Each structure stands twice: as structure tokens, then as C-alpha cells.
Amino acid sequence: MRSWKAFVAVLGIFVLGTVFGLVISFWIMPSIGAQAPPAQEILTRRFNQRIARNLSLSPEQARAIDGIIAETRTQLLEIREETRPRVREVILNASGRIRAQLNPEQQVRFDQMVGRNRVLLNRLMSR
């Protein structure tokens, strides 16, 4: 019985870590990109160059595709902003459900483990 509870605790922590990792990748990385736009610009430029080179695009086609990529990036940022509150809700709900599966001693350790992540999550979600 104890090994089952330990497995659920480890699985819960793994799931929570994955969720927090996703949050970080979706919210911190774009903010880092906003602080250092050259990284995103370099990746976009390389992608555009690769398309132009591999597909032998005309200058007209290259300009049109650049516009499509820029528009897509804007749309994705808007979607991220629209879904941010729901993502936060899902993450906090998962954390609460995982915590409910733990005994009091495990809850204390769990709270310590995710406490730093919650501070980071709250800071990210308030942007």
C-alpha cells in the first residue's frame, strides 16, 4: 500500500514538474525573447532563408512569406494571452488535486518543492 502511495506521489510530482516546465517554456522564454529580440529574429531569419533557398523563392514570394510568418507570430502571442488565465487555473487545480493525494508529511515536502515554482508562476501569470 505504501509503495502505491509513493508511486502516486512521484507521478504527481513528475506531472506537476512537466506542467511547470510547459509554463516556463511558454511564458519565460517569450519574455526572454522580448528582452533579447535578436534570438527570435535570428531564428525567423534563418527559417525564412532556408525556405527561400530550398524552394527557390522569388523576392515577391519571400516578402509574402515573411508577412505570413509575422502575422502568425502575432496570432500565436494573442492566443497565448487569451489562454493564460485558463492555463493558470488548470495548473493550480492539478497542484491541489495532487496535494490532496498526499499524507500531511508529504504535503509539507510537496509545498516546499513547488513553493518556489508557485512564486514564479504567480509572477508570470500576472504579466
* Straight-line distance from the first to the last Cα atom of the chain, in angstroms, rounded to the nearest whole number: 43
Which pLDDT tens digit goes with each residue over 35-63? 445 566 777 788 888 888 888 888 898 88
Q: Which domain holds residue 24?
A: 2-125
Distances (CA, A) of 37 to 2, 21, 34, 41, 87: 50, 22, 5, 6, 25
Length of the chain equals 127
- Domain total of the chain: 1
* pTM passes above 0.95: no
pLDDT over threshold 60, residue 29: no
Q: In degrees, to the nearest 5, what angle opens at C-alpha 88 toward C-alphas 121 and 93?
A: 110
What secondary structure letter does DSSP report for 70?
H
